[in-house]
């Protein structure tokens, strides 16, 4: 299996632009997570999907952030408009059915908003 796939790996954009991050979970996994990692705050859960349905979006910082999972093999995290404080590494992770299993992380997207 190729593992969790994220694209792009690096993104540099200007303030105010729309940014779309993409994730393909491991086949057969029914849970998908989006995290943000910064030096100051560490790794934070943004949103969690189960069977393509958003279950917990309490970590989404504000309305500029939105996430979708149109099918079991694809998810997007969109920031519109982007701001410099959104600069971070964004990780996607997926998990087997059943909450007791570990999560498998993608390589991350390093976002820099100028």
Residues of this chain that interact with another protein (CB under 8 A) are: 4, 33, 42-45, 48, 50, 55-56, 91, 93, 99-108, 110
Nearer to another protein, 57 or 66 (CB): 57
Neighbours of 84 (CB within 10 A): 10
State the nearest-atom distance from the C-beta of 45 to another protein, in Å: 6
CB closer to another protein out of 81 and 89: 89
Question: Could you tell me which residues come within 8 angstroms of residue 52 by beta carbon, excluding any fewer than 6 positions away?
Answer: 69, 70, 71, 72
Comparing CB distances to another protein, the nearer of 37 and 81 is 37
Confirm if 73 and 94 have CB atoms less than 8 A apart. no
- For 22, residues 6+ apart whose C-beta sits below 8 A from its C-beta are 6, 7, 8, 74, 75, 76
- Which residue's CB is nearer to another protein, number 81 or number 105? 105
Three-state DSSP class for 64? coil
User: CA 97, 99, 102: angle at the middle one, nearest 5?
Assistant: 90
Least Cβ distance, residue 31 to another protein (angstroms): 9
Q: Output the smallest distance, CB 28 to another protein, in A.
A: 17
Cβ of residue 48: shortest distance to another protein, in angstroms? 6
């Amino acid at each position: 299996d190729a593992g969790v796939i994220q694209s792009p790996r690096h993104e540099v954009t200007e303030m105010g632009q729309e940014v779309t991050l993409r994730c393909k979970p491991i086949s057969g996994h029914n849970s998908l997570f989006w995290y943000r990692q910064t030096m100051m705050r560490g790794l934070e859960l943004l949103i969690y999907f189960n069977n393509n349905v958003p279950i917990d979006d309490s970590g989404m910082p504000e309305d500029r952030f939105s996430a979708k999972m149109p099918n079991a093999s694809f998810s997007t995290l969109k920031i519109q408009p982007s701001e410099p404080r959104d600069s971070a590494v964004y990780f996607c992770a997926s998990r087997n059915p059943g909450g007791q299993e570990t999560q498998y992380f993608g390589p991350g997207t390093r976002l820099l908003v100028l």
